[in-house]
Structure 1
Amino acid sequence: MKFKVYHNAHDFEKKIEPLLLEKEDVFSLFLGVLQAIKAGNYENPFMATIEEEGKILALFQMTPPHPLNLIFVDEIRLEEIIDFFIKSVLEHEITFRSIISLKPWAYKVAKKWEIKTDMTHQLLMDQGLYRLNKVNDSLEHSPGNWRHAEESDSAIIEKWFNLFEIDTGLPISPTENVKKRVAMFLKEREVFLWENKGKIVSMMKKSRPTKNGVTVSLVFTPKEERKKGYARTLVAAVSRELLNDYSFCVLYTDLMNPTSNKIYREIGYKRIADSVHLSFDKDK
């Protein structure tokens, strides 16, 4: 087996894309982030594979400070490949704070990583990955309409971005970082808002387009406007619009939040995989 680090995103894509497209929905995060790396949106990205006689056994991607994304191809030799991965990461002195992967893979890596290091893992988010092919047209719609967010909406989006992080247990991004990210979202026309009687009551965004799909994310409604169906109606309406350009939509949910999972199922999203985001800290 060989641990191969790639420094050119186009070379990396050429090597791994055919394999990823076999499960484009399940591996949409990896594919979508790769497009952003190619566009130069990340500094110092990490891209690597484990190969044997030209065959890919595993692939890895990281855009610090975001988690290391791991995909294992050969399930039969999974234990052996994970051992080789850990050995290679330690030899190359590659550091990471957290990992994201399909649940069985992530926990196997975490267990072996704890044995080899003085680190222990913490669950940051237990995630469900959902796919949508067609919106349920029988849904009851909340009052109002959706529209693309504009530059004049940046202040409320920035505020809600941090509130979304609080709700989901994510680290709170510094104000300057949020301003830059929201400015980019608006430039790319990625944010959608639901308005009722001139008041913005909910938001969502699209992200990480792949060859045939697109991701729905950053779904947020402020507490005072919840339980009125705004988020469900917004996601349903915009997802229907996105399906004019893509074959499917995907989204990640926090499985500890039964309300959001119920809402997405009602829209027509179907759970296709379980993923986890695990962090690592030194054992005290």
Structure 2
Amino acid sequence: MSWHFTHDLGAFTAAAGAHLAAEPARNTAVLTMMDGAELLGWWAGPDGAVTGVLAASPPAVLTFGVVPVEAAAALVLPDGADPATLRGETAAVEAYAGATELPWEPVMGIRLFRLGELTPRDPAPAGRSRPASTADLPLLRDWTADFARVHRYEPQDDYTDFLTERITEGRLHVWEDPDGRPVAMAAVSRAIEGQARVHLVYTSPAERGRGYAAGVTTTVSRVALASGAAQVLLFTDLANPTSNALYQRLGYRPVSDHLGVRFTPRP
């Protein structure tokens, strides 16, 4: 049993495609980031069957899909590279963190949810949703930077390309209040292997508690279903009981718990 690594997406999908297709929900993070990943890896048994996958993007951000505990504990990245951060299912992350000699600290507990039957908020929040436009970019850039800060993601200097891609593909929506002011946003990934993931759910701090996040999440959930996704997923911060309760009221159900950790570089 061993890890294999590549920088080539075609080689990765040729080796791990069956595994990714068999577990699209638990592999969602790898599926949605593999196009732009700097490094891709898979764990194969003696018979060649793949049972684990990972993806890494700069700067040293490592993400596990389904990874057996023994594979996580045996992981050594090419050229002795060390990750700065790691996210994945809790048992696998703890196994890698326990096996490495790097000091580490937990950053965030995360829960993966999957949509059962979509149950919109009743009564619906005031206002309406609409697709975001490039005219919204100045506001959406500020919101995205705050979203990244709150969720402890590695910050980017400029979110314009990230947001424009989602706007032009109709995957980013905003909620307007009755006066037509944008007050919340949410996005959804492309449908890959029958799954799509809701992300970037954010409400302007002054407008929270009015149901706007529920309204725009319902919209992008419908966009995901219309795109052909058989499974609509999202991640939540376990430390935020409000968002966890919200998504369950909308019909999302827990799948698995995940953990994000940060490593201290070697001296």
Tell me the TM-score normalized by structure 2.
Answer: 0.90
Given the alignment of the two structures, is residue 143 of structure 1 paired with residue 149 of structure 2, yes or no?
Answer: no
Query: 1:267 deviation in Å?
Result: 0.4
In structure 2, how many angstroms separate the alpha carbons of the residues matched to 1:162 and 1:240?
Answer: 26
Secondary structure at 2:59 match in 1: coil
Aligned-partner residue type, residue 103 of structure 1? T
Aligned to 2:171: 190
In structure 1, how many angstroms separate the alpha carbons of the residues matched to 2:234 and 2:73?
Answer: 31
Aligned to 1:55: 49
Query: 1:111 deviation in Å?
Result: 1.0
Given the alignment of the two structures, is residue 253 of structure 1 paired with residue 239 of structure 2, yes or no?
Answer: no
Aligned to 2:74: 84
In structure 2, how many angstroms separate the alpha carbons of the residues matched to 1:4 and 1:238?
Answer: 36
Query: 1:71 deviation in Å?
Result: 4.2
In structure 2, how many angstroms separate the alpha carbons of the residues matched to 1:32 and 1:139?
Answer: 32
Given the alignment of the two structures, is residue 124 of structure 1 paired with residue 107 of structure 2, yes or no?
Answer: yes
Aligned to 1:24: 24
Secondary structure at 1:243 match in 2: helix
Q: Is the 8 A contact 2:111 2:238 kept in 1?
A: yes
Deviations 1:109-134 (A, max 9, x none): 10111xxx2x2112121100000132
Write out aligned runs for 1:78-117 (5 A).
Answer: 78-79=69-70, 81-86=71-76, 89=77, 92-113=79-100, 117=101
5+ unaligned residues in a row in structure 2: which ranges? Answer: none
Deviations 1:122-181 (A, max 9, x none): 21211000001321156321111111101111111011111112222334322xx22232
**Higher mean displacement: 134-143 or 246-255:** 134-143
Q: Is the 8 A contact 1:134 1:240 kept in 2?
A: no
Residue among 153, 156, 165 paired with 2:148: 165
**Higher mean displacement: 184-193 or 199-208:** 184-193
5+ unaligned residues in a row in structure 1: which ranges? Answer: none
Secondary structure at 1:134 match in 2: coil
Which entry has the higher C-alpha Rg, 1 or 2?
Answer: 1
Deviations 1:29-50 (A, max 9, x none): 111222xx2xxx45xx111223
Aligned to 1:271: 254
Aligned to 1:237: 219
Q: Is the 8 A contact 1:129 1:274 kept in 2?
A: yes
In structure 1, how many angstroms separate the alpha carbons of the residues matched to 2:167 and 2:219?
Answer: 19
Aligned-partner residue type, residue 203 of structure 2? T
**What is the number of equivalent residue pairs in this alignment?**
264
**Paired-residue identity, %:** 22
Query: 1:57 deviation in Å?
Result: 4.4
Instruction: Give the 3 Å change call, closer, same or farther, for CA 278–49 of structure 1 in structure 2.
Output: same
Deviations 1:48-91 (A, max 9, x none): 22333422243221111262123455x5xx43x344323xx3x6
Q: Is the 8 A contact 2:75 2:96 kept in 1?
A: no
Aligned-partner residue type, residue 55 of structure 2? Q
In structure 2, how many angstroms separate the alpha carbons of the residues matched to 1:208 and 1:125?
Answer: 25
Q: Is the 8 A contact 2:66 2:89 kept in 1?
A: no
Given the alignment of the two structures, is residue 199 of structure 1 paired with residue 181 of structure 2, yes or no?
Answer: yes
Q: Is the 8 A contact 1:29 1:208 kept in 2?
A: no
Aligned to 2:207: 225
Given the alignment of the two structures, is residue 210 of structure 1 paired with residue 200 of structure 2, yes or no?
Answer: no
Aligned-partner residue type, residue 195 of structure 2? G
Instruction: Give the 3 Å change call, closer, same or farther, for CA 58–212 of structure 1 in structure 2.
Output: closer
Q: Is the 8 A contact 1:147 1:194 kept in 2?
A: yes
Q: Is the 8 A contact 1:133 1:247 kept in 2?
A: no
Aligned-partner residue type, residue 262 of structure 1? A
Deviations 1:201-254 (A, max 9, x none): 110111142121211001111111010111112112331342223222100100
In structure 2, how many angstroms separate the alpha carbons of the residues matched to 1:271 and 1:182?
Answer: 28
In structure 1, how many angstroms separate the alpha carbons of the residues matched to 2:7 and 2:224?
Answer: 33
